[in-house]
Chain A
Amino acid sequence: MLKRTMTRLCLAVLTAGMISALTGCHGREGLSAFEIPEKMDTSGEYEITFWAKNDTNKTQTAIYEQAIADFEELYPNITVNLRLYTDYGKIYNDVITNITTGTTPNVCITYPDHIATYLTGSNLVVPLEELFVDDRYGLGGSEVRFDAPSKEEIIPQFLEECSFGGHYYAVPYMRSTEACYINKTYVEALGYTLPDALTWDFIWEVSEAAMEQDAEGTFLLNGQKVMIPFIYKSTDNMMIQMLKQKGAGYSTEDGELLLFNDTTGELLETIAKHAQSGAFSTFKISSYPANFLNAGQCVFAIDSTAGATWMGTDAPLCDISEDKIVEFETQVMPIPQFDVQNPQMISQGPSVCIFNKEDTQEVLASWLFVQYLLSNDVQIAYAETEGYVPVTTKAQESSAYQDYLSRCGEDNEQYYDIKIKASELLLQNVAHTFVTPVFNGSTSLRDASGQLIENTVKSVRRNETIDDAYFEELYSDMISLHRLDQLAGLRDTASSEKADLGKLPQTSVILLLSLAGAWMMIICFLIVRMVKKKREL
């Protein structure tokens, strides 16, 4: 009897286990929510991995290494292993791959858009709001062994960019925006004067004027066979900012897709017109805007302020040979606007998130390191490597950073004027920056917005017909390629941290029903037997 009861019990446990496993497998990872430990364990050894992004800039690498060395000196029981990337997309891909194997890094430089996707795993990314205000280990807490900023000292707008779904899932690390790097010499040679604020109309007009060629195909402006007057590095930013400036839709906060609207079509038509004349191209189609600008083959190069050290005749970093570099005066300006009274520009730059681990001490060590990245030593040093700005008022207002800004143009390395002017451009325009809504799938929408421009420009160059039917097909292709039609079911992920993965597959439903049916039959059988036994008694 005991044996038979055990068999039934085992069957019941197995059945329950299978059901649990089946439902558990459906998009869940089983980590408990992080809770701040009572006390930091200083006796144990902790090793954390930090996946960092640099702009292929050895000074930035050196700053990361120095930051790690300094942090390890403060916390001798914590070792930080650095893994370097030069591309946010590669970090994103690797994180996604490592989520499935449970080998995510501890600390990771990332974009909020990407974090929204990471959140499909339960408790995978650590919400930081409780850590921010913890008396001992929070921002500037009593047990923190360095001079960390308080929460109030993080620029509120930058911090809010890391908040979605009711939680702070990251802290800002550096901030940048886009800038227009202009060959002012060429603009004036064409008979134009740069306005106080750039407009799209001005850029298109000057770009078309720059296309004049002689009978041999030599451009009159530069005396060369190559001239692309206007090159945009990031076409997703281009589309997003144009739509924002026009007050047109892109997406709602909760992930409703508004990208494919009439204004988008009008913008693409304008872009197509200037791609047709050869006045406009993109990084993906032609190459880095800086290479063309420095070779005197471009008038307006739009790129991140974090790319400023590559821009201009005297740029400290350059990919083209010296004999190709042309002498010209470089002007740095905010990106062109449709309404100069109401300027709008993207806020971008790296943020840092923490991945949850079973060992809460390991997570605490990660948090302390993240906090260290916000200290003045790291913030100021890293911001000075490119046209970034520090994300804390503590760093921005420090005498060291103010001294750095005041020495603009002292040399063409540390104080390269284009780089410092690019930083100042953002410092003066923080109030005019914006970010796009973050939700699971916002990365795909961003990719699609850029690809609308890339595909349109390529089609024009290939002499395809650009009309309403073309755009209709293009929109359809983008929706299909980036699976935007599947986003509706994923939309709630960021807000609830639990992915609604839709209906279970039919096979799973059949299996579960079969198991439930079998279990019901077993229960019925037992009841019948018990009744029979009672009657026999």
Chain B
Amino acid sequence: MKKLTALLMIAAFALTCVGCGAGKGDDAKSEGVMTYEEYVAADLDTEVVIETYVQAKQSWWENQATVYTQDKDGGYFLYNMACSEEDYAKLTPGTKIKVTGYKAEWSGEVEIIDATFEIEDGNYVAKAEDVTSLLGSEDLIKHQNKFVSFKGMTVEAAGQDADGNDVAFLYSWDGSGQDGDDLYFNVSLNGSTYTFTVESYLCDNTTDVYNAVKGLNIGDKVDMEGFLYWYEGANPHITSVTVK
């Protein structure tokens, strides 16, 4: 009986290990593939080869896909990667891909451009990492492009409407847009205010998050999840909002 119990425990342990491996992304990189550390250390404009997991798709147009990806160590933003429409359909959350491209930076956003990819075996969907305490700090950028969360923030006025009344969100950064365009809204924590975005290609006006932000009121306490995009500073692309 003891032997049987021990065997069952070993088997269960082994299964747990395998399961954890799948859930966190394979540690081992294939030959010739960079670790996240090596990717971070690579110079701009050099060729990079990475293995990563699709977390969200932002857009596809004329055989180019823009995708948020992540392994267990960090996030990679793949901008306008060569991709057929057929392959784009295969890039579901968790899909493992090997990407070859060039490291680039655009307005502070570090990304991989002119890339190609191949789908590999493996699956990993990242859990949102709480980076609320890092807002405003120099360490936040280390989490660039990752799926992150911000908790307990307060909705502030994003601007004024035509009648001069404060509003909780704007269509486009200055209110020049209309329904279907990017949403911009401000949230504060400990006296500092930050601008967050619902990127309309990533989450269009049919999504829950788009409509949740349209329903926000100034003063609401909110928890949010999204991808830590960068444009001249942190500019999170929010994918979910929960009013507390």
Contacts and interface: CB of A to CB of B under 8 A. Distances in A.
Interface of A: 54, 56-62, 82-84, 86, 93, 285-288, 291, 317, 319-321, 458, 461-462
Contact of B176 (A58, A291, A320): A58
B177 interface: yes
B229 to A, nearest CB: 14
B232 A291 contact: yes
Interface stretch (B9-17, B24-32, B167-175): B167-175
B4 interface: no
Contacts of B181: 84, 86
23 contacts: A54-B176, A56-B172, A58-B172, A58-B175, A59-B176, A61-B176, A61-B177, A84-B178, A86-B176, A86-B177, A86-B181, A285-B104, A285-B106, A286-B106, A287-B106, A287-B107, A291-B107, A291-B232, A319-B232, A320-B232, A321-B232, A461-B44, A462-B45
B107 A321 contact: no
A287 B110 CA distance: 12
* Max chain A C-beta neighbours (<10 A), residue from B172, B176, B181, B232: B176
Interface string B37-60: 000000011110000000000000
Nearest to A318: B232
Contact of A60 (B46, B47, B176, B232): B176
Given A54-B176, A83-B178, A287-B106, A62 B162 contact: yes
Nearest to B176: A58
A262 B176 CA distance: 45
A56 B173 contact: yes
B199 to A, nearest CB: 14
Chain B contact residues: over half helix, strand or loop, or mixed?
A: loop
Contacts of B107: 287-288, 291
B233 interface: yes
Contacts of B231: 319
Nearest to A460: B45
A162 B233 CA distance: 42
B102 interface: yes
A462 B178 contact: no
Given A291-B107, A462-B46, A86 B172 contact: yes
Given A54-B176, A86-B176, 12 more contacts: A56-B176, A59-B176, A60-B176, A61-B175, A61-B178, A83-B178, A84-B176, A285-B104, A286-B106, A287-B106, A321-B233, A461-B44
Contacts of B44: 461
A291 B231 CA distance: 11
Interface string B79-106: 0000000000000000000000010101
Nearest to B107: A287
B220 interface: no
B145 to A, nearest CB: 17
Interface in B140-164: 162
Contacts of B176: 54, 56-61, 84, 86
Contacts of A59: 176
Minimum-distance CB pairs A-B, first 5: A58-B176, A287-B107, A461-B45, A61-B176, A58-B174
B204 interface: no
B106 A84 contact: no
A254 B172 CA distance: 40
Contacts of B114: 458
Contacts of A56: 172-174, 176-177
Interface string B104-133: 101100000010000000000000000000
A59 B104 CA distance: 34
A62 B177 CA distance: 10
Nearest to B47: A462
B232 A57 contact: no
A57 B44 CA distance: 33
A285 B177 CA distance: 26
A271 B176 CA distance: 36
Interface in B205-240: 231-233
B233 A84 contact: no
A462 B45 CA distance: 5
B175 to A, nearest CB: 5
Contacts of B162: 62
B178 to A, nearest CB: 5
A81 B178 CA distance: 12
Nearest to B44: A461
A470 to B, nearest CB: 16
Nearest to B233: A321
B19 to A, nearest CB: 41
Nearest to B102: A462
Contacts of A319: 231-232
A57 B175 CA distance: 8
Contacts of A291: 107, 232
Nearest to B172: A56
B45 to A, nearest CB: 4
B143 to A, nearest CB: 20
A319 B230 CA distance: 12
Contacts of A62: 162
Contacts of A54: 176
Nearest to A284: B106
A61 B175 CA distance: 9
Nearest to A292: B107
A472 to B, nearest CB: 20
